[in-house]
Amino acid sequence: MKHKKVIGVFTLAMINVAAIDSIRNLPIIAEYGVSLIFFLLMAAIGFLLPTSLVSAELASGWSKEGGIYTWVKAAFGKDAGFLASWLQWSHNLPWYPAVLSFIAVTLAFAFFPDLADDKLYLLPIVFSVLWIFTYINSKGIEASSKISEFCVIVGTIVPSILLIGMAIFWVVTGEQMQIDFVRDDFLPKFELGHLVFFSGMILGFAGIEMSASHIMDVKNPQKNYPRAILLSSFIILLIMILGSLAIAIVVPNHRLDIVGGIVQAFEAFLTPFGLGWMVPIISIFVVVGSIGMVSTWIVGPVRSLHVVAIKNDLPDWFQKLNKNNMPINLLIMQAVIASLTSVAFVLMPNVSSAFWVLSVLAAQLYVLMYMMMFVSAIKLRYSHAHIERMYRIPFGNVGMWVVSLVGISCCLFVFFIGFLPPNHLETGHIFLYVAFLVIGNLLLIFPPWIIKYFKK
């Protein structure tokens, strides 16, 4: 039966935007000031485009059972495929507490500012939302998808438009700006303590490989997939640039909170015009958007890991489905481990530093998976040259080498730069900071080997 082509350039571009764009990432990017434009362009060229193009080719060649597990398995065997799939899932374990802390801090900034850095307030919120939405997702994919669809519109698109619109009004009416748009500020100062924020920026671009699973449904993929990638990259870049600049325009860099920066910006925009009462309302919208993202990512990676489980790469206990056809044991295990990683909020000096170190750990785990994907793509060009691909990166094997090496270089930079604490953020003793990342990486990378050992 011939596969029906139903997705055009614009539709595929919107799928990419929905998967990646998040208002949560804007305060981290705003730390760079005007030079954020330069860094975002570098992130797009060095990471966003390589991951998009490589995953597109792999998905078009291995469409029946697409995904990172299948691609890496085809290149390097079953064990490597299991590790790649595990990394794709495990990077979410530190990410959940990070994004849930964003929810808690956003609510605090809007209603109870004194609680924004109170760990006794934060941890119960993190645990509650995590377990509530784990339960909701256990009820089936239909309930999860409806929540996500509503939350994306209300909590991401609407606040983004408001934020950018208010910034334009601020500039046009001649209000005071906290940054200067001068030529010298566009090129950044390449200081290591400042470049570490690049890790958070890359994490904000991660996830575009998911859209490659739609390659079989795309009309004329050889031409339309690259066009959709360029269009979605432009839209994502535009929202990130304008949204981040909007925050940098009104919130002084030394006062910017990387967790609560969104609320700070709305407050700065609205209060001078006597509209401060709108801040709590908009904050609720932002929280709704983040909850939708959490709901989506709670179930997505778990379902991918369940594919590995039914291939007998995980013990039988992980294969169990409940009456709603959801991998219930995997969902519970995920919530338990994510709850344990929340201990970072106790170890770090403040909420912002805990949010940062968890985001860095998530980014490091994710870029390891991407490096495996890039190396697999190169290998498959030679070992599986006979496999027909509906989309191929241009310029033959040379094109694949260039694109993949650019992506690998960016991933290596993000992984190692993450071990340096940022200049403008109190992270406590450097030994504790580095130790948390090293131990976190080891604990979340090595379980596949342990499972394999006991399986034998």
CA distance 249 to 204: 21
Q: Is residue 242 part of a domain?
A: yes
Question: What is the separation of C-alpha 446 from the centre of its chain, rounded to a whole number of angstroms?
Answer: 22
Res 287: pLDDT? 85
Alpha helices, DSSP H only, in 44-90?
A: 49-61, 68-76, 78-90
CA distance 266 to 393: 42
Res 431: pLDDT? 87
CA distance 221 to 213: 12
Angle in degrees, CA 220, 221, 223, rounded to 5: 80
For residue 377, give the nearest of 366, 364, 393 by alpha carbon: 393
Residue tagged 């070992």 (tokens): 383
CA distance 30 to 244: 5
CA distance 84 to 72: 7
Report the CATH number at residue 252: 1.20.1740.10
For residue 394, give the nearest of 83, 144, 56 by alpha carbon: 56
pTM summary value: 0.84
Q: Is residue 3 part of a domain?
A: no
Residue tagged 């090496």 (tokens): 405
Please state, in angstroms and as integers, the Cα–Cα distance from residue 401 to each residue in 205, 207, 215, 330, following that order. 22, 21, 22, 37
CA distance 137 to 295: 7
Q: DSSP letter at 46? A: I
Encoded tokens for 159 = 């606040």
Q: Which H or E run includes 131?
A: helix 119-137
Residue tagged 């085809």 (tokens): 74
Crossing angle, helix 351-383 and helix 430-445, to 10 degrees? 40
Q: Is residue 425 part of a domain?
A: yes
Query: Cβ of 76: how many Cβ atoms within 10 Å?
Result: 18
For residue 257, give the nearest of 449, 397, 429, 426 by alpha carbon: 426
CA distance 78 to 411: 23
Res 1: pLDDT? 44
Residue tagged 């390891």 (tokens): 368
Burial 135-164 (b: 16+ CB within 10 A, else e): eebbeeeebbeebbeebbebbbbbbbebbb
Q: Is residue 80 part of a domain?
A: yes
Amino acid identity for residue 104 in this structure? A
Q: DSSP letter at 180? A: -
Low-confidence ranges of the chain (pLDDT < 50): 1
Name residues whose C-beta falls within 8 Å of residue 184's C-beta, 6 or more positions apart in sequence: none
Dihedral of CA 217/218/222/225: which sign?
negative
CA distance 85 to 308: 8
Q: Is residue 383 part of a domain?
A: yes
Residue tagged 């599986």 (tokens): 384
Please state, in angstroms and as integers, the Cα–Cα distance from residue 58 to each residue in 308, 329, 375, 401, following that order. 18, 30, 12, 14
Q: Is residue 207 part of a domain?
A: yes
**Domain with 122 in it:** 9-455
Q: Is residue 2 part of a domain?
A: no
Number of domains in the chain: 1
Query: In this predicted model, what pLDDT tens digit does every residue of 118-165 receive, in sequence order?
Result: 888 888 888 888 898 888 888 875 655 566 667 767 777 788 889 999
- Report residue 235: phi and psi, to 5°: -65, -45
Q: Is residue 281 part of a domain?
A: yes
Dihedral of CA 15/47/363/68: which sign?
positive
Alpha helices, DSSP H only, in 318-395?
A: 328-341, 344-347, 351-383
